[in-house]
Amino acid sequence: MPVLVASDLDRTLIYSAAALGLTMPDAQAPRLLCVEVYQSRPLSYMTETAARLLTELGGAAAFVPTTTRTREQYRRISLPGPPAKYAICANGGHLLVDGVSDPDWQARVSARLADECASLAEVRDHLMNTADPLWVRKHRVAEDLFAYLVVERELLPQEWVKELAVWAENRGWTVSLQGRKIYAVPKPLTKSAAVREVARRTGADLTLAAGDSLLDADLLLAADRGWRPGHGELADSDWTAPTISALPERGVLAGERILQEFLRAASPAR
C-alpha cells in the first residue's frame, strides 16, 4: 500500500483504566472495548468508535503497531481490524513480519548497539547502584536491549531523573519517564529506523505517525506527518515540529482523534 501508518500504542491508541482520562459525567462516557487481558484481568482499552476507525484504517493503509513493549507484552494485545503484517517491538529492536521477528533486522540492531553506545550491563549496574529502593518497585530488562524501572511517582526525586539523563547521554543512551516507568534506552535503538525499513519493504510513499512520549519523537520527525495527544511527555514539554500536529484531546478520546486524522490523511477523499 502507498500509505504506511506507524503508531505508538500505550497512551496513544490504547489506554489502561488509570490512563483513560475521562472527565465527563459517567452517563456520557464512551463505550469501551477491552483490547488486552493480562493474568485473566482486563488491562487496556480503546473506545468502540476508535475500534471502528482502526478497522477502517486497515483497509486504507498499512497499519504498523510501533511500541516499546517487548514481543511478549505486544502479543497480549488484540487490536480490531485486519492483522498487521508488520509490527515493531522493543522500541525498534524487533521487526515482526507476520508475527515472527526478522533475524536480519535483529542482527543489524545488535551490531549498531555494540558499536555506538555503552553496554546494557553498565547501564543496569548504574540503575541498581543509584536508584533508591524507597521509590523503586521493580528493575526490569526488556529483550536484552534496554532497561526500565517501575517507580512510585510521588516519591521519585526529579533531580535523580535529571542526573540519570545526563549520565546516560554521555554514554549514548536516553532516559524517558512515562507514567510509573523510567526507561533507559540506547540512542541507536529507535522506532524510526524500523519504520524506515518497513517503508522500504512496502514501497510506501507516505508515512503517518503518532505518539506521546520522548521515545516517539524520532518516529514523529521521520514521518511525513505526525500527531501527538494533549497528554504525555511531549505535550508536557510543549514539544512540536513543522510536520507535527499537537492535538488538544487527552486520554482515551485522543485515540479516537488520532485515528480520525490518520484516516483523513490516508484517504483525502473520505
Collapsed DSSP state (helix, strand, coil) of residue 227: strand
Q: Model confidence over 90-128: pLDDT tens digits?
A: 999 999 999 999 999 999 999 999 999 999 999 999 999
SS3 label, residue 34: strand
Percent of the chain with pLDDT over 70: 99
Which residues pair with residue 208 across a beta bridge?
A: 5, 225
- pLDDT, tens digit (0-9, with 9 covering 90-100), for 140-153: 999 999 999 999 99
Is pLDDT of 201 > 70? yes
Residue 1: what pLDDT?
58
Helices 158-169, 120-130: axis angle to 10 degrees equals 160
132 pLDDT higher than 60: yes
**Residues 204 and 62 sit within 8 Å (Cβ to Cβ):** yes
Its sign, for the CA torsion 179, 181, 182, 188, is negative
pLDDT (average), residues 214-241: 96
Per-residue pLDDT band for 178 (boundaries 50, 70, 90) equals confident
Instruction: Look at residue 269 in the predicted model and tell me its pLDDT.
Output: 58
Strands of the chain (E only): list them. 3-7, 15-16, 32-38, 41-47, 62-65, 86-89, 94-97, 100-101, 136-142, 146-151, 173-178, 181-186, 206-210, 225-228, 244-246
Coil, strand or helix at 245 = strand
pLDDT at 270: 56
Q: How far apart are CA 219 and CA 42, in angstroms?
A: 29
Tell me the C-alpha distance between 207 and 30, whole Å: 30
Would you state the pLDDT for residue 191? 98
Rg of the chain in Å (alpha carbons): 18
Question: What amino acid occupies position 243?
Answer: T
Torsion sign, CA atoms 230, 236, 240, 244: negative
Task: Grade residue 251 by pLDDT with cuts at 50, 70 and 90.
Answer: very high
pLDDT (tens digit, 9 = 90+) per residue, 56-103? 999 999 999 999 999 999 999 999 999 999 999 999 999 999 999 999
User: Could you read off the pLDDT of 253-263 as tens digits, one per residue?
Assistant: 999 999 999 99
* DSSP line for 59-100: TTSEEEEB-SS-HHHHTTB--SSSPPSEEEEGGGTEEEETTE
118-143 exposure pattern, b = at least 16 Cβ within 10 A, e = fewer: bebeebbebbeeebeeeebeeeeebb
Amino acid at 265: A
pLDDT at 55: 97
pLDDT bucket at 171, cuts 50 / 70 / 90: very high
| C-alpha closest to that of 88 among 76, 107, 78, 102 | 102
pLDDT by residue (tens digit) across 26-48? 999 999 999 999 999 999 999 99
What does the pLDDT read at residue 268? Answer: 74
- CA torsion, ordered 131, 118, 218, 110, to nearest 10 deg: -120
Per-chain mean pLDDT for the chain: 96
What does pTM read for this prediction? Answer: 0.94
Give the contacts of 79 (CB within 8 A, at least 6 positions apart).
Answer: 14, 35, 54, 65
Q: In the predicted model, what is the mean pLDDT of residues 200-222?
A: 96
